[in-house]
Structure 1
Amino acid sequence: MNQFDSGHPARRTDIAVVGLSCRLPQAPDPASFWRLLRDGVDAVTDVPGQRWNAAAWHDEDPAAPGKLISRRGGFLPAVDLFDADFFGISPREAAAMDPQQRLALELAWEAFEDAGILPSAPGRTGVFFGAIYDDYATLVDRAGPTAITQHTVTGLNRGMIANRVSYALGLTGPSLTVDSAQSSSLVALHLAVESLLRGESDLALAGGVNLNLLPENTVGATKLGGLSPDGRCHTFDARANGYVRGEGGGTVLLRPLAAAIAHGDPVYCVIRGSAVNNDGSGDSLTTPAADAQREVLRLARERAEVAPREVQYVELHGTGTRLGDPVEAAALGAELGRPDGEPLRVGSAKTNVGHLEGGAGIVGLIKTALAIHRRQLPPSLHFNSPNPRIPLAALGLRIQREPGDWPHPDRPLIAGVSSFGLGGTNCHVILADHRPRREPATARPAPAPAVPWLLSARSEEALRAQAARLAGHVRRHPGLDAEDIGFSLATTRTALEHRAVVVAEDRATAVRGLSAIADGTVATGVVRGEATAGKLAMMFSGQGAQRVGMGRELCGAFPVFAGAFDEVCGRFDGCAGGPLREVVFGGPGSLDETAFTQAGLFAFEVALFRLMVSWGVRPDFLLGHSVGEVAAAHVAGVFSLDDAVALVAARGRLMQALPGGGAMVAVEASEAEVVPGLGDRVAVAAVNG
């Protein structure tokens, strides 16, 4: 059983977070988001002029008709820009699409890339997105009926946010957009986890998006009484007077932990349990209920099989409202607080980037996943003294005001994430770190004399931009391994039409090659081209291609090859006249004896084919000459391994018995035979000697 170093056992129901993406104010990706959090940056700014005229809409009186009380918010730049060609979308359809759909597409692609998983990976991938507003639909409506086109319905329907991602990436699992008000994206994640646990999905993409394109929804927040006049979120602070609106989005890619380990996926953290409930009948539709919030905390904790004192941190819903904060604090203190010991640390990402409303929960989850992965707690901003209605000490809570270590880094890092909807739909998720037992170190093969770095993009311009970004990344991170970079580029990125490869002996040469691609200049070791659809053929050679020691270095470098080679050699032992592996590697016996020659070539070729398949290389056609014909037929599924070994062994013995020890006496070419087994159609061309 895989375990944490601290002894906390991994469970069958643990779900791994294997990929992250986010687009947030002043944080276009998870790495920059972590820096923003760690450094305590407030990304809230004045309203950009291209959104609306803040002065014209502003009034200090919250009751002023049609006016809003705040001039500030968390905004993304250039939300009107979108690379439609990349996703195969026409300009007209792209213009009709809600920018939230466009943002969801970009976030989904980036989450797959972050995980090193191709969207085309086998299995069912579910898509679950949270979103609550549709500002873009209002803009289209204002243009009148003549603005309605064939793309309007699909472009503006909020349900299409998830469906668009499924369609564009070819994902066949469940696909739905969730609207439970401000808890939407965390509820979407809960549904994604449940889909994985039921076996309905093999992978799941969960996230949320929110864009503030119009002032009217900010007017609505003002009239509701939830908006902060000073444009800051003072979570749990005495100055708490409301929240500030934010925009952007985030996604996480999820897989059951056992499957993630088997696939070698990166694991940021694991989801140990989650729960959803509703306040039910209370003082009003929008008044939060402490009992219901405490109950959802308890349900999630019990499903995670975690004791209250094991939780070290909770990412709050933490809107900074006069009513909501005291209720949340009371529920949290009653369920997880520790007034007689080390206080529970709490904080809120809303103090950094604002309240993303439908996307708020996933932002808090990504923050917490990064904090677990980095093994540090970032500060929560704008806290000076506690709200008089929140007795932190008595509740056993402490605001995380400075960046620092977890309270007990030697124990499993366990955290909760809360998100509560305006209509009382509450969600809580329990996260934990994942520290697998370390396997004994194995000797690494000698570095390759040259390493190819592969790049691909939808256009020449995008290819050049990608080369520039990679060159900059490598310069900023001098410790990166060149072979690791080459492996990741070749195996974890979708191969697009415009391609380039840099073949270099060292990092400096590779960076020069990338710079040449970015500049559009010629450089040694750089090849550019545009790929076209075609077929791949592999040919298996016959007797005469053998050499003593073939496969020895491959066995040392690639476990897949070694396993397949040893398996095939083992099947020959006893029927080839000696231990085949030893003969091939120069031991007793002669590889020039036909019985060993043919068996050795068959073992080498089958193992090499298995290695290529493990890298994702699958041929459309297979050709074989002499014993290579049998190897081709076996990997195509014509012969089982035992039948192929028996045939090769008998063939080798019979040819060995011929005058001259099996020298080639005739060549007869047969017609190509179409056989099932690999891809849609595989041809095996047999050349008999």
Structure 2
Amino acid sequence: MDEKEVLTRFKNGDLDRAQAAALLTGATGAVGTAATGPAPTVLQLPDAWPDLEVVEGPVAGPVVAPAEPVAVVGMAGHYPGASDLAAFWRRVRAGHGSASAPPPGRPGDEIGHYLERVQDFDPEFFGIDAREAALMDPQERLFLETAWEVLEDAGCTGGRLDALTAADGTPRSVGVFTGAGSGDYALLAARTWTSERPRPMPRGGRWSLPNRFSSLLGLTGPSQSVDTEQSSVLVALHLALAALHRGECAAALVGGVQLLLHPASRRPGAGEGVGALLLKPLARALADGDSVHCLVRGSAVGHIAPDSTAPGPGRRSRTTTADPAHAAEQRVPQAALRAAGLDASAAVVREDAASVRALVGEAGAATGAASLTRAVLQLRHRVLAPGPRRAEAETWERADAAPRRIRVGTCGAGGADAHVILEEYFPAGTDADTATDAGHEIGAATDTDPGPTAAGVGELFVLSAPTPAHLAATARRFAELLGGPGPVPPLGALARSLRTGRSAMDCRFAAVVGDTAELVRVLERFVRDGTPCADLRDGGADPLGLAGAPETDRYLTALWRAGRLHQLCGLWLSGLDVDWAALERAHGAGTVVVPLPASAFLRVPLWLGGEEGPA
């Protein structure tokens, strides 16, 4: 049976996917050898989801063994009409658009997709002077907050961030790869600058977006900005994967942002947004006890010329009977499939800029971030969301025994094309039929650690923040979560995630509690009265100088093993920074990361010349 007959019978339903793939492999050569015929095309299955694709014949070029899978271990984002990812998923699942008139304070009436209060920022949280913060591009400020939320979502601040070391032992080996929108803020400042009344100007370069975050946290991996318009974040992710595979960093934060601050940018249908992901090699993520949202199996980048047949400098005109535009459009997706080690039988759902247009509009660099986030959420919840090719959400039933997969692809306005293959993750001992997405939901973590709580001494709950006001606002978030109607994490898993995954700041709250109900009462009392709270901003931390004593680590371990949580609580409140992760390991317990509320930001309007907001 030749290739044409196989494809005809497949389209007619006489052969299923596996049978067709087997016959095609036998007809055209073994997978893994270079294809010799024309570039393969994409077959739309009439009885499957409208955006499902399989490849007719082997993937063009050799299918290579994929590199080690990379895990998505943290996510955060803010999109029009969605202040967090829970709200974003509700809009994604319902198929709701976000088009509206500009928010108050922005002139014009162009219908677009806008974020609220883009002038607001919390400089005190990051230790930035308010005057300096007013000169920072709001895109940079918004990215700082979102990137911090990603690290907290992954339980990767404080000691767990320090533990991400490079091959030579350098701590905080995290790369930051970003895409950013236009420099509207500098344009706004230039309108009022004159030689008679000069004033400090905002930085106009996109380089500051990743570099500022790396500097503030002392991150030592690559710190790089990418500008390929809509595909910026996917290109940034491609670079991040390469850095991880080369060992240039132990983890990588990838994100993008766009704000429409200058009136000329607010064209009809344009959009705003910010989003970011944290990536780790899967083996490292599992060893660290991370919550794995999904896997990144492969990526590819390339360029699609507007007219691939037109001659240009140094290029000769060519003639071909094949469709050159179609071949160019398929080249990078095919390369991504090869990088993921997928063969002709792979079924992959497509996500592209059109999939998120109703949610974020034409959002430039934020388009890729929104597309990736939408794809990860579909894999996590195993739901196919509404979009251009589907009227309403559907439960994502698997087509075969393979994991669910999504190909996210975006082409920038200049032709920079990027594609990423995402795949659902099943923990060891489960498979695609029995695994659920419960491990990613609040309240789904198990609590099997035989720690102090099991001995009847309670659980040590800690919170910290840069100021008492920040601490109270964050405590209120936890009280609302734990006292609300929704699912909550087991007390032990929640307390461990906070102790090991959050940084210890100057203003601290701690309590030893026996159950979640007691913790809610303690938190509500703290929010109401503001006590007890340790404020170490004026010095006085660690008054006994225990941090410098070589015996301190053994002393803390002995206290932990004996269940002396009240003593440990007092030492931590006095300013002694305890390596909770080391104590957990010494007791035989592994780190368990569960999703928790992010630290609260107390934003204030900061704008050029002390103005209240964009104009």
Q: Which SS does the other structure have where 2:228 is aligned?
A: coil
Q: Match for residue 460 of structure 1?
A: 468
Q: Match for residue 536 of structure 1?
A: 546
Q: Retained in 2: the 8 A contact 1:277–1:292?
A: no
Q: TM-score, normalised by structure 2?
A: 0.68
Structure (1 or 2) with the larger CA radius of gyration: 1
Q: Retained in 1: the 8 A contact 2:178–2:254?
A: yes
Q: Match for residue 126 of structure 1?
A: 175
d(CA) in 2 for partners of 1:310, 1:555: 54
Q: Match for residue 668 of structure 1?
A: none
Correspondence for 2:219 among 168, 171, 177 = 171
Q: Which amino acid aligns with 1:505?
A: G
Q: CA offset at residue 11 of structure 1?
A: 5.9
Q: Retained in 1: the 8 A contact 2:406–2:422?
A: yes
Match runs of 1:46-195 below 5 Å: 46-54=101-109, 71-118=110-157, 119-123=161-165, 124-145=173-194, 149=199, 152=201, 155-195=203-243
Q: Which amino acid aligns with 1:304?
A: A
Q: Match for residue 45 of structure 1?
A: 100
d(CA) in 2 for partners of 1:76, 1:350: 15
Q: Which amino acid aligns with 1:81?
A: D
Higher mean Cα deviation, 461-470 or 300-309? Answer: 300-309
Match runs of 1:201-600 below 5 Å: 201-219=249-267, 244-280=269-305, 282=307, 289-318=325-354, 348-380=355-387, 399-408=389-398, 411-438=402-429, 445=450, 446=454, 448-476=456-484, 477-521=486-530, 528-530=534-536, 532=539, 533-534=541-542, 535-537=545-547
Q: CA offset at residue 25 of structure 1?
A: 1.1
- Residue 450 to residue 400, structure 1, CA distance change in 2 (3 Å): same
If asked which structure has higher relative contact order (CA below 8 Å, sep 6+), I would say 2
- Residue 356 to residue 302, structure 1, CA distance change in 2 (3 Å): same
Deviations 1:343-375 (A, max 9, x none): xxxxx1222232221111121011111111112
Q: Which amino acid aligns with 1:76?
A: L
- Residue 273 to residue 518, structure 1, CA distance change in 2 (3 Å): same
Q: CA offset at residue 53 of structure 1?
A: 2.6
Deviations 1:118-175 (A, max 9, x none): 244432211111013111111110111467555x35x332211111111111111111
Higher mean Cα deviation, 367-376 or 446-455? Answer: 446-455
Q: Match for residue 572 of structure 1?
A: none
Q: Which amino acid aligns with 1:536?
A: L
Match runs of 1:12-31 below 5 Å: 12-31=67-86
Q: Retained in 2: the 8 A contact 1:51–1:214?
A: no
Q: Retained in 1: the 8 A contact 2:229–2:412?
A: yes
d(CA) in 2 for partners of 1:448, 1:51: 57
Q: Which amino acid aligns with 2:144?
A: L
Q: Which amino acid aligns with 2:377?
A: L
Q: Which amino acid aligns with 1:129?
A: T
Deviations 1:386-438 (A, max 9, x none): xxxxxxxxxxxxx2322122231753011100111111100000000111223
Q: Which SS does the other structure have where 2:225 is aligned?
A: strand
Q: Retained in 1: the 8 A contact 2:67–2:245?
A: no
Q: Which SS does the other structure have where 1:305 is aligned?
A: coil
- Residue 121 to residue 103, structure 1, CA distance change in 2 (3 Å): farther
Q: Match for residue 248 of structure 2?
A: 200
Correspondence for 1:615 among 581, 584, 599 = 581
d(CA) in 2 for partners of 1:417, 1:515: 44
d(CA) in 2 for partners of 1:217, 1:361: 19
Q: Which amino acid aligns with 2:360?
A: V
d(CA) in 1 for partners of 2:342, 2:295: 13
Q: CA offset at residue 209 of structure 1?
A: 0.4
* Alignment coverage as a number of residue pairs: 453
Deviations 1:56-101 (A, max 9, x none): xxxxxxxxxxxxxxx2111111111111111111111101110011
Q: Which SS does the other structure have where 2:120 is aligned?
A: coil
d(CA) in 2 for partners of 1:379, 1:267: 24
Q: Which amino acid aligns with 2:328?
A: A
Q: Match for residue 647 of structure 1?
A: none
Q: Which amino acid aligns with 2:493?
A: D
- Residue 555 to residue 407, structure 1, CA distance change in 2 (3 Å): farther
Q: Match for residue 655 of structure 1?
A: none
Q: Which amino acid aligns with 2:414?
A: G
Structure 1: tracts of 5 or more residues without a match = 1-9, 55-70, 220-226, 228-243, 319-347, 384-398, 557-611, 619-689
d(CA) in 2 for partners of 1:492, 1:100: 27
d(CA) in 1 for partners of 2:550, 2:135: 50
Q: Retained in 2: the 8 A contact 1:19–1:268?
A: yes
Match runs of 1:654-665 below 5 Å: none
Structure 2: tracts of 5 or more residues without a match = 1-64, 166-172, 312-323, 431-445, 564-577, 585-615
- Residue 411 to residue 85, structure 1, CA distance change in 2 (3 Å): same
Q: Which amino acid aligns with 2:546?
A: L
Query: RMSD value over aligned CA atoms?
Result: 3.0
d(CA) in 2 for partners of 1:450, 1:282: 68
Q: Retained in 2: the 8 A contact 1:52–1:214?
A: no
Q: Which amino acid aligns with 1:37?
A: V
Q: Retained in 2: the 8 A contact 1:378–1:400?
A: yes
Q: Which amino acid aligns with 1:167?
A: S
d(CA) in 2 for partners of 1:432, 1:293: 22
d(CA) in 2 for partners of 1:139, 1:442: 53
Deviations 1:636-684 (A, max 9, x none): xxxxxxxxxxxxxxxxxxxxxxxxxxxxxxxxxxxxxxxxxxxxxxxxx
d(CA) in 2 for partners of 1:84, 1:451: 33
- Residue 126 to residue 22, structure 1, CA distance change in 2 (3 Å): same
d(CA) in 1 for partners of 2:122, 2:583: 29
Q: Which amino acid aligns with 1:464?
A: A
Q: Retained in 2: the 8 A contact 1:126–1:172?
A: yes
